[in-house]
């Protein structure tokens, strides 16, 4: 790999001076693409999740892992994304589990239920060294968003914010990286700084449902001049369990002028609610 890098650097050094202006930019892109293709030929890329060799695909996840992650569970509610209980039905207004809840978001889109390979993916995404995995997960999530929203794609994409202390200790905000990947594939603007976390909250996973709602109440804010008037916002996170955080953020965005809010997550938890 060191020799390949040296070769690429040498070629770029010799060719770049010959080129100028837009041609130079195109030439550099061509050199990078050619070097990347040569590297993939000599050292075939491996799947970011299972480490098996890959010879095609843009998500950097092998076909088997993609199938495992995207394997459709039983029918899920379009509104809260939880599996629909046997003997019941669900529509855009909700299911038996969420029909009578005050939810500020219109729908929830998830790659899968939190468990098995989806759980493994989420846990690894929380590690700062696995940013490429978060980008790949975002690519899969965007495919699901396109399938479900079809002609009603969002106007903007925004990640769930993380308090700076938590970001500092963890080293990465997986939701932000996933949102970047989703926005790129959907060709929509990414509003990284649309929302901010005003105070450090307790970890939602350690709290009861009623405590979770109280924990996030007033914990977030929207930037005063955010261009949200009449917009359909896609809010992106890694996991959604009770939906307390998503609901709080959807509420403040609706107050800020958003027309509607959709939620997109890698995993939908199905624990107690």
pLDDT at position 205 is 67
DSSP string across 41-69:
HHS--B-TTT--B-SS-SSSS-HHHHHHH
pLDDT band at 22 (very low <50, low <70, confident <90, very high): very low
Tokens of 10: 């040498």
From first CA to last CA, the distance across the chain in angstroms is: 50
More confident residue, 81 or 8: 81
Give the strands of the sheet with 260-268, arranged side by side: 107-113, 260-268, 232-240, 156-159
pLDDT of 72 reads: 60
- In this prediction the pTM is 0.79
Enter the tokens of residue 228.
Answer: 């949200």
Residue 271 has pLDDT above 80, yes or no: no
Residue 108 pLDDT = 97
Q: Is residue 20 predicted with pLDDT exceeding 70?
A: no
DSSP 131-191: HHHHHHHHHHHHHHHHHHHTT---SEEEEPP--HHHHHHHS--HHHHHHHHHHHHHT--B-
Rounded distance, CA 254 to CA 159, Å? Answer: 16
What is the Cα–Cα distance from 97 to 73, expressed in whole angstroms?
17
pLDDT higher than 80, residue 25: no
Confidence of residue 56 (pLDDT cuts 50, 70, 90): low
What is the per-residue pLDDT for 12?
A: 46
- pLDDT tens, position by position, 95-139: 988 988 999 999 999 999 999 999 999 999 988 888 999 999 999
Specify the pLDDT at position 5. Answer: 47
pLDDT digit string, tens, across residues 67-104: 888 876 568 999 999 988 777 889 989 998 898 899 99
pLDDT exceeds cutoff 80 at 226:
no
What is the pLDDT, as a whole number, of residue 43? 59
CA 267 to chain centre: 10
Instruction: Report the pLDDT value the prediction gives residue 129, as an integer from 0 to 100.
Output: 87
Place of tokens 């005050």: 102
Domain 68-73+104-268, second-level architecture: 3-Layer(aba) Sandwich (3.40)
Check whether 231 has a pLDDT greater than 80: yes
Q: What is the mean pLDDT of the chain?
A: 82
Given the structure tokens 């529509």, which residue do they identify?
91
Over range 214-240, report the average pLDDT.
Answer: 89
Residue 42 has pLDDT above 60, yes or no: no
Query: pLDDT band for position 145 (50/70/90)?
Result: very high
């Amino acid at each position: 790999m060191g020799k390949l890098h040296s070769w690429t650097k040498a070629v770029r050094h010799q060719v770049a001076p010959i080129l100028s202006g837009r041609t130079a930019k195109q030439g550099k892109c061509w050199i990078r693409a050619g070097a990347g293709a040569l590297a993939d030929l000599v050292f075939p890329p491996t799947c970011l999740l299972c480490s098996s060799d890959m010879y095609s695909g843009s998500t950097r996840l092998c076909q088997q892992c993609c199938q495992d992650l995207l394997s459709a569970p039983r029918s899920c509610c379009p509104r809260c994304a939880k599996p629909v209980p046997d003997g019941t039905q669900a529509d855009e207004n909700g299911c038996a589990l969420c029909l009578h809840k005050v939810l500020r978001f219109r729908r929830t889109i998830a790659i899968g239920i939190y468990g098995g390979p989806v759980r493994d993916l989420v846990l690894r995404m929380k590690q700062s060294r696995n940013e490429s995995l978060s980008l790949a997960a975002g690519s899969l999530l965007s495919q699901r968003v396109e399938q479900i929203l079809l002609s009603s794609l969002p106007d903007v994409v925004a990640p769930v914010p993380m308090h700076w202390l938590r970001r500092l200790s963890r080293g990465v905000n997986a939701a932000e990286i996933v949102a970047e990947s989703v926005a790129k594939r959907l060709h929509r603007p990414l509003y990284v700084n649309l929302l901010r976390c005003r105070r450090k909250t307790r970890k939602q996973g350690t709290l009861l449902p009623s405590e979770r709602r109280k924990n996030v109440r007033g914990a977030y804010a929207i930037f005063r001049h955010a261009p949200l008037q009449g917009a359909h916002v896609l809010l992106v996170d890694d996991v959604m369990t009770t939906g307390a955080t998503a609901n709080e953020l959807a509420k403040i965005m609706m107050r800020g002028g958003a027309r509607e809010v959709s939620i997109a997550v890698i995993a939908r938890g199905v624990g107690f609610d």
